[in-house]
Amino acid sequence: MEWTPSRVALSAAALILIASAGARLSAHGNVTPQAVDTSALPDLEGGNDKWVQHNPYRGNAKAIEIGQSAYGQNCARCHGLDAISGGIAPDLRYLELGDSGDEWFIQRFQHGSVRDGKVYMPPMGEVLGQKAGWAIRAYLETKHSED
Ligand code: HEC
């Protein structure tokens, strides 16, 4: 097949169409969660499916590193880069530290938030898994602010 100028122009136009369709999709927040590799983290006692209420990885340097990247890929588009909210969703630096903050955090992570039939936040538990959730929580505690 010859690459005549008109063919080249056509395929360039097709590429632009595909690219803008992609941009439209993400503008609607229709983004597939990005799997998180948590194999470097210790397994949880009851397995990944038995949800615990307190962070088993608090202060764990490896978890904080994994959590930072997982946050950037899955939460930042709503909760803001570096955990600083631009106002679309709550600023997660203000979550309570420690065990009581853990319970609230993991409940939201697992089930998201649906009010009056509207999805404010999609559930993350099944797609990302518990280990990723606690890694993100460990990262967020390093960003905590009292202001
Ligand atoms: C599509 C946007 C969106 C994404 C993606 C998202 N969230 Fe949320 N999140 C929200 C909104 C909106 C709320 C507030 C819900 C409400 O008011 O009922 C919220 C609430 C929360 C809360 C409760 C905050 C509070 O102050 O009460 C936590 C914790 C939380 N999200 C964690 C996460 C984590 C961790 C991720 C990534 C794994 C994430 N969210 C991804 C939109 C999102």
Residue 16 has pLDDT above 60, yes or no: no
Q: Is residue 23 domain-shared with residue 86, that is, in the same domain?
A: no
- Span 95-109, average pLDDT: 97
Q: Is residue 88 domain-shared with residue 57, that is, in the same domain?
A: yes
Residue 46 has pLDDT above 80, yes or no: yes
25 CB contacts (<8 Å, ≥6 apart)?
Answer: 31
Q: Is residue 3 part of a domain?
A: yes
Q: Is residue 52 domain-shared with residue 18, that is, in the same domain?
A: no
Q: Is residue 9 domain-shared with residue 70, that is, in the same domain?
A: no
Nearest CA to ligand 1 atom 39: 75
Domain range for 13 is: 1-30
Q: Is residue 126 domain-shared with residue 71, that is, in the same domain?
A: yes
CATH number for the domain harbouring residue 65:
1.10.760.10
Rounded-to-integer distance, Cα 113 and Cα 115, Å: 7
Q: Is residue 122 domain-shared with residue 57, that is, in the same domain?
A: yes
**Ligand 1 geometric centre to CA of 121 (Å):** 5
Return the best residue to mutate from 121, 141, 143 for the ligand 1 pocket (most ligand atoms within 8 A of CB). Answer: 121
Band (47; pLDDT cuts 50, 70, 90): confident
| Alpha-helix runs per DSSP H in 45-97 | 61-74, 76-79
Residue 106 has pLDDT above 50, yes or no: yes
- Residue 23 confidence (pLDDT): 42
**Ligand 1 geometric centre to CA of 62 (Å):** 23
Domain total of the chain: 2
